[in-house]
Amino acid sequence: MMTPLQALQKYFGYNTFRHEQEAIVNRVLSGGDVMALMPTGGGKSLCYQLPAVLLDGLTIVISPLIALMKDQVDSLNVAGIPAAFLNSSQNPAEQSHIIAQLNSNHIKLLYLAPERLFGTGNKLVVFLRALPVPVAQIAIDEAHCISHWGHDFRPEYLMLAELKRHFPNIPVIALTATADKLTQKDILEKLNLKDPAVYISSFNRANITYRVNAKQNSFSQLLTFLENKKDESGIIYCLSRKSVDTLAQDLKAQGYLAEPYHAGLDGALKARNQEAFLRDDVKIMVATIAFGMGINKSNVRYVVHMDLPKNIEGYYQETGRAGRDGLSSSALLFYSPGDAIKLKGFVSIDGDPEQTRVMLSKLDDMSRYCQLPTCRRKFLLNYFDEQAPDHCGSCDVCLSEITKFDGTLIAQKALSAVTRLNGRFGSGYVIDVLRGSKSEKIRQEHKELKTFGVGSDISKADWQRYLRELVALNYLKFSDGEYPVLQLTDKSNAVLKGLQKVDLIATQTIEERETEELPFENDLFSVLKNTRRHMAELENVPAYNILSDATLMEMATYL
Ligand code: ADP
Ligand code: MG
Ligand code: ZN
């Protein structure tokens, strides 16, 4: 039998394995289950294609991307690896032709989409049982689609949970480019993988520079950004279809080769725009997140987010489409707190409280990323549980595009308030004490404290930012649990003793970054939220049982 390395050279024309490919291939060949996390463009396909060539029997590949199956199958066939796909885009005659080919035990890989064809009950299991050839491996691409916690949940994927039960001895390999800890755990559980080996490759995209700008005159900022990029390819993501259409129009009016892409466009037009983009006839794809999954275009030089993404996983996946060729590329995001509030409203419309909670906390992480006083790359990598140095040297924070000032005194005030409150209160309460709240209850209880009112010169909103910054800098932390309280960390003492200087982002910079926010609504929103929290505490139920964030936001907007 050929060795994996020989097969790599013979069929794929590569001399060496990348990332964890070799270990993954060996694991599958020895019959074990695998979950592989590798960045987009990292070479996941090879992890099951190579075993498929070497194993006796058929490899089933589950993929949600019908549109890309044909390309993948064509290129396998060109490489001399017999492959086929079955999905609902084919007519019955085409489908039986493929089944006949399977009968002749000729095909090594069969791509299936868990949609109409196999989308209900046990149809897939029945189909696999009825195959005239043994199945040697099941590969599940874009495995995060099985998880509610992932950013692209597809209910059809849930039926894959049955596979391991019915075919306990066939190795299953789950692949994804995007899954945080929670999603990873969910994938393993849902797929019932047996003693799975988990391989995680480095997700660092060293050639991408990360920037966050205030969402203020974002169109003219965008034009400045694009000024010397007329010949470069880029993707610009917007939240809504309407803003995709408008922005594409506006860019065209400025002489850019831009076209829109979103799920509301006619299928033929979508295909045409996508192809024009791949061929470089169109330079800018203005799109909703419906665009991009599985697209393999190597020379995308920039990815812009005009609106706040819903979570870090989606954001990282989308920015990851830049610079696959390894050349220097940028990721630019326009942030406004108003966006975060708007998205919160959307999220909470969902009924399931557990899911709502997770989505809101992911949204919070996304907002936190935008307001980081520390290296953005480090935050992103840590988010995916990867270690990273404190400074990457190629994000806006590391490049010092953000003005900082000596905030030691502010930090000391905050930290000593937390100390005096014995680490038992949330940020809103700590701020009330710092600002010397007029609330009778708080006055009664805390007016004797040395820190009561020492921060009255700083607005509530600024205190919120400083506290968040101090948490990001690890001088304070939030406790776990439903009502997180502020607590000291082992770095706090040095600050309190004056041994550690603390640089904070200048408020003015922050204000410049947030001019588009809805200050009034925002305040009202947090007042309503506090009220809701008190009600929830009294009733001893989760806050969203009282009123959803969406309703609160509606009240805040219309009151
Ligand atoms: P993913 O599915 O992880 O996004 P792909 O499997 O589509 O990535 O692979 C991305 C690109 O990398 C493809 O062009 C593929 O041929 C190439 N590639 C994969 N493995 C290797 C390797 N060992 N050496 C060189 N190129 C590779
Ligand atoms: Mg892939
Ligand atoms: Zn950095």
Q: Is the CB of 36 under 6 A from ligand 1?
A: no
Ligand 3 centroid distance, CA of 394 (Å): 5
Which atom of ligand 1 is found nearest the CA of 14? 24
Pairing of strands 58-62, 109-112: parallel
Ligand 3 centroid distance, CA of 166 (Å): 47
- Per-residue pLDDT of 217-268, as tens digits, reads 899 999 999 999 999 999 999 999 999 999 999 999 999 999 999 999 999 9
Q: Is the CB of 298 under 6 A from ligand 1?
A: no
pLDDT of residue 510: 45
Q: Is the CB of 18 under 6 A from ligand 1?
A: yes
- Per-residue pLDDT of 429-476, as tens digits, reads 999 999 998 888 888 888 888 889 999 988 888 898 899 889 888 899
Ligand 1 centroid distance, CA of 319 (Å): 18
Mutate to test the pocket of ligand 1, among 8, 12, 203, 316 (most ligand atoms within 8 A of CB): 12
Ligand nearest, relative to CA of residue 7: 1
pTM of the model: 0.65
Here the tokens at position 545 are: 């049982």
Ligand 3 centroid distance, CA of 468 (Å): 18
Q: Which residue lies with its CA nearest to atom 1 of ligand 1?
A: 41
What is the DSSP secondary-structure string of 53-70? HHSSSEEEEE-S-HHHHH
Of the ranges 37-51, 98-112, 216-230, 243-257, which one carries the lowest mean pLDDT score? 98-112
ipTM: 0.98
Here the tokens at position 341 are: 């509030």
Cβ pair 469, 374 in contact under 8 A: no
Confidence of residue 83 (pLDDT cuts 50, 70, 90): very high
User: 533 pLDDT exceeds 80?
Assistant: no
Sheet holding 208-214, edge to edge: 208-214, 329-335, 300-305, 233-237, 284-287, 258-261
CA–CA dist 184, 162 (Å, integer): 18
pLDDT of residue 518: 43
Which atom of ligand 1 is found nearest the CA of 45? 6
Spell out where 358-481 has E strands: 404-406, 476-478
- Per-residue pLDDT of 336-366, as tens digits, reads 888 888 888 777 655 678 888 888 899 999 9
Q: Which residue lies with its CA nearest to atom 17 of ligand 1?
A: 43
